[in-house]
Amino acid sequence: MSGFVSFVSSGPGDPELLTLKAVNRLKKADAILFDDLSSGLILQHARADADLIGVGKRANRPSPKQHAVSQLLVEYAKNGGQIVRLKSGDAGLFGRLEEEISALREAGISYEIIPGVSSAFAASAAAGIPMTRRLSARRIQFITGRDITGELPDDFNLPALADPSAITVVFMGKKTFSKMQKLLAEHGLSDDTPALLAEAVATPEQTLKRTTISKLAKLLDSDSSPNPALILYGPLADMDDSDDN
């Protein structure tokens, strides 16, 4: 009989941001296939005899292919038991969740999805700002800054992304934001629009850079940090040009 897969969202990195349900599934798991950003102290909740398998993908680093991860997940589930697929942030946001679900469905394997704290919300909390603001920030939009080739997607809705009343959160956008900012300017978004660069959110390495979109684009042109990052821009509250660490 096939096992059961729990897609567990680990949050942005701080083990205290795990949900009670996530901790419960980790404690019961026979095997845990985990992302790079879901390792460390989070895995202390695993049983001592559980199989721990790293399957994380990181930009510009050697990583397993998605089809290989999906197939490995299916193989573990076919052996029976409780299997956890541990994903960083919230599993449903830019986490290739659909592809892994499709593989399980094709194999006739049951699963559940346990939501978690997105790094977007952790970043705004760390910066001490709300994600929405009455009268000035009426909408939030989440986008990815890179397509499957690692380049800036060419099918952006640029008028929407240049909306001065929207808070935009860019995942995986450090390498492409300079090009993106030029396109935003062409569609009318001011160079002085507030921006926040949040790196390694909710970890000991966390850094927050408060700036503007034009200054951030110049900064990222020479960025060499390997840390994962989010970019927030729009009518952010209480922004200035200082660094927060």
Q: Which residues are catalytic?
A: 35, 57
Cα separation, 170 vs 184, in Å, equals 13
C-alpha to C-alpha distance for 168 and 187, rounded to whole angstroms: 15
- C-alpha span between 114 and 116 (Å, rounded): 7
Please report the DSSP string for 24-63 in residue order. HHHHH-SEEEE-GGG-GGGGGGS-TTSEEEE----TTS--
Element (H, E) at 83: strand 82-87
* Structure token digits, residue 38: 């879901």
SS (H, E, C) 165-228: CEEEEEECCCCCHHHHHHHHHHCCCCCCCEEEEEECCCCCCCEEEEEEHHHHHHHHHCCCCCCC
